[in-house]
Amino acid sequence: MIDLSELYSEVPPTKLRNIDEKFCPAATSKFWKLVGDFVFYKMLKTRFYAFRFKGAENFHSKAPDMPIIMYAPHSNWWDGIVGYATCNWICHQEMRLMVEELKRFPILRHAGCFSINKKSPQASMEALKYAIHELANPNCNVYLYPQGIIKPPNYRPIEFQSGLAYMVEKAVKRYGKVGLIPVAVNYFFLRDNRPEVFVEFGKRIEVFHEEKKDRKEFTDFLAKNLETLCDGQMYDISHAIFDGYDTLFQQKLKWYRRIEQRLKRIEKPRSGV
């Protein structure tokens, strides 16, 4: 039996297990993209009734030479596949995602994942430098979970580690500018027996070379920015406000749900009295 008290640890896996993992970069190709698209699409459609997204114009309206970092909350196993779908199928870019203990799942390198060792801040540096380097690739999106570890669903307050602010600082020095897009991700049961994925892109934050920011204050600002976006998404869905959402896919109803819908349309016979 699973001990629920052990589901969420405040210590990253590589530090908890005292693991020294050699850095592994992403290893994408056209062939593996076709494989990833097929496998991940099949997995999502097997488990979810629909995948809906909103605010993608905040990405598509960026300048062509604007490096982009997306950042999202991390609460469960599906987040990585949703991140892949967001980058590849909505933004039409390759994903670059940090993954701890990547050697246990090396095939994920072909989906755009690269390793990070959180045993110490120094051990994490190679992954951060690689992510900054990949920002120069116009075909890639760096997709981050700045909380650093998996948190319970809708955990508050959202707090970030300093890696994202460090990346912004170094990226701006190298490229002169960088755009940040918060991404709210949640999973809701609506009127079907399967959950739906909801992804909302927040307003793009653009940082330029001439701007100087305190790293801690900027980290807190970005965390609060994501928390506000996630809370707004939760409010809208809980009040049945679905304005602006597009649909990546939506399943057909199961046979028993189709029967249920038909039965609801059958009028009760009148007594004639």
pLDDT tens for the chain, residues 1 to 273 = 667 777 888 888 877 777 777 899 999 999 999 999 999 999 999 999 999 999 999 999 999 999 999 999 999 999 999 999 999 999 999 999 999 989 888 999 999 999 998 877 777 899 999 999 999 999 999 999 999 999 999 999 999 999 999 999 999 999 999 999 999 999 999 988 899 999 999 999 999 987 788 999 999 999 999 999 999 999 999 999 999 999 999 998 765 666 767 777 776 555 554
Query: Does domain 18-265 bear CATH number 3.40.1130?
Result: yes
Q: Using an 8 Å Cβ cutoff, are 180 and 69 in contact? A: yes
Distance CA 43, CA 216 (A): 38
Of 239, 78, 228, 218, nearest to 157 by C-alpha is 228
Distance CA 79, CA 54 (A): 17
Give the tokens for residue 16: 């908890």
Distance CA 83, CA 70 (A): 9
Give the tokens for residue 227: 């928390």
- Domain locations in the chain? 18-265
How far from chain centre, in Å, is Cα 155? 15
Query: Which positions ≥6 away from 3 have C-beta within 8 Å?
Result: none
